[in-house]
Amino acid sequence: MSITRPPIAYSFILHDKIEEMKNLNVGMIGAGGIAKKLAATIEKLDGFTNYAIASRSLDKATAFKNDNYFTKAYGSYEELMEDENVDLVYIATPHSEHHRNMLLALKHHKPVLDEKAFTTNAIEAKDIIARFEKENLFLTEAIWTRYMPSRKIIDDIIKENLIGKISLLEANLCYPNKSHARLNDPNLAGGALLDMGIYPLTFALMALGSYPDKVEATCLKSETGVDETTFMRLSFPSNVEAILYTSMDVSSDRTGYIYGDNGYIKVFNINNPEAIEVHAKDQSLVKRVEIKEDVNGYEYELYACKKALEEGELECPEIPHSDIIKVMELLDEIRRKIDLRYPFER
């Protein structure tokens, strides 16, 4: 697979400009842990409101509403989509449901921020993006590391040539969360790859600014047949190798390394960078940058959505639709290598 993308564009927003914009009423479907995290973020931001939450159970939606300061609770996704006061729909359901949920939002002409992984495969991604673009409707993916300021910090260090020519990258993300029923369910597109492996993969793609022309992957599967631990090796056109791994069975240091002939960059926690260090080739510390978010890191994808909606854009420059499709194609290729298909794909 040989794919190359255009240079990344950035759109970071000043707080005073955010405050001048129209308040954005966010409606969420799926009352799980990730929705709770985004709701906590919205509660601390000016210009955004936790307006409506929908679950397949009204009792669950009502409890979520009361715990997270929402105005409305709905016992079906359709009811939320019918609410004319919802300005942006955040989809926080299992991966297997994303395409179906986005179709419902499209039916009611609602802009969407869709949680990662965007869909379960590239076929679904291409289909739904084409439909939204045809209707001139905003759509983006909520992979938060694409929007964080730390992304530009890393890019700037690379552009300064502080570590020289890059030849190797290494990144990992592992959490012992195998006990989560969703992650073990192949019918919900469970497993480590789509849930966690997408982060070291995205780290590599952002740092190197291109896509690989060769992919190798192996995995250990769980008792239910999903990938429990996945190892990836990507070969890039510029003679750079990336070694990536993810697991839902163990803990890891979540660190990313970018190695050059004059030194290396170390990123502490690729899932939500806490600090970035630059080391010379003798391993001495050249510089260290502490990362401090305004809230918790999720705010930047919300800022980007607001800016795009205010400007009438159909996508966010931090992750154009073309990049979403390419990443899903790459995930498909990795799944082919590890012989992982979900039951609904057969």
Answer whether residue 5 shows pLDDT above 60: no
Q: What pLDDT, in 10s, does the model give residues 259-276?
A: 999 999 999 999 999 999
Quick check: 175 and 191 in contact, CB under 8 A? no
Q: CA separation (Å) from 107 to 86, 102, 131, 219?
A: 14, 9, 10, 38
Query: pLDDT tens digit string along 141-188?
Result: 999 999 999 999 999 999 999 999 999 999 999 999 988 999 999 999
Say how far apart CA 279 and CA 269 lie, in whole Å: 17
The rounded percent of the chain whose pLDDT value lies above 70 is 94
Q: Given pLDDT bands bounded at 50, 70 and 90, which one contains residue 22?
A: confident
Q: Given this model, what pLDDT does residue 12 score?
A: 37
CA distance 129 to 202: 20
DSSP state of 146: G
Question: CA-CA distances (angstroms) from residue 299 to 38, 39, 63, 222?
Answer: 8, 10, 24, 34
Q: pLDDT tier at 302 (50, 70, 90 boundaries)?
A: very high
Predicted confidence at residue 294, as pLDDT, reads 86
| Residue 46, pLDDT score | 94
Sheet hosting strand 88-91, strand order edge to edge: 72-74, 48-54, 24-29, 88-91, 112-115, 139-142
Q: Are strands 166-174 and 256-260 parallel, antiparallel or unpaired?
A: antiparallel
126-137 confidence digits (pLDDT tens): 999 999 999 999
**pLDDT at 19 > cutoff 60:** no
